[in-house]
Amino acid sequence: MLAHTAASPTNNTTGMAVTAPAKTSYAGAIAMANVYRDTTQRIVSSTGQGYSAINQQVLGASARLGLMPGQVQSYGRSVRSLTGDWQGAMAGLDAYQARALQTDRTLEQMVPTAAHLAQTFGISSTNDVMRFFGTIDTQARLANVSATVLERT
């Protein structure tokens, strides 16, 4: 009798136990999508570029670098807020992600460096950033020092 009651169509507790996690996951996914869309729209409004262009930049960088789209947005918005240049922030993203991995840091920890190099030296493109760090690494090697180890401290 007890087994029959648990499987009864009028007893909704079994169905709720199965569907509740799915509903929670779905609600979470919808909330994350809304945050992404809202953040992208803010970038669009602040840069004057189209939604499609910003969305393609964020998703392209995310796929290329193995980052979550929210991380790409956060990095770009942070650097743009310090330099006033979204395109410059996105232009050097690949190089700063590579340097972050090389020095055991997060992309977010590279924001001050990206802003400083852009403001002080006008360096923002991936090639210029890579050339800059390559020069630093070469000079450090010539002095028998590891620039990446020094950056970590």
What digits encode the pLDDT tens for the residues 120-147?
A: 999 999 999 999 999 999 998 898 888 7
pLDDT for res 145: 85
Q: Which amino acid is at 12?
A: N
Q: How much of the chain, in percent, has pLDDT values that exceed 90?
A: 65
- Reading the block at residue 140, the tokens are 């450090």
pLDDT of residue 52: 95
Distance CA 148, CA 104 (A): 9
The crossing angle, in degrees rounded to 10, of helices 69-83 and 13-47 is 30
Please state, in angstroms and as integers, the Cα–Cα distance from residue 86 to each residue in 22, 29, 37, 79, following that order: 37, 27, 17, 7
Q: Is this model's pTM higher than 0.85 or not? A: no
At 25 the pLDDT is: 83
Q: Are 67 and 97 in contact (CB under 8 A)?
A: yes
In whole angstroms, give the CA distance from residue 14 to residue 20: 10
Residue type, 111: V
Q: Three-class SS of residue 65?
A: helix
Mean pLDDT of 71-87: 93
Average pLDDT, the chain: 86
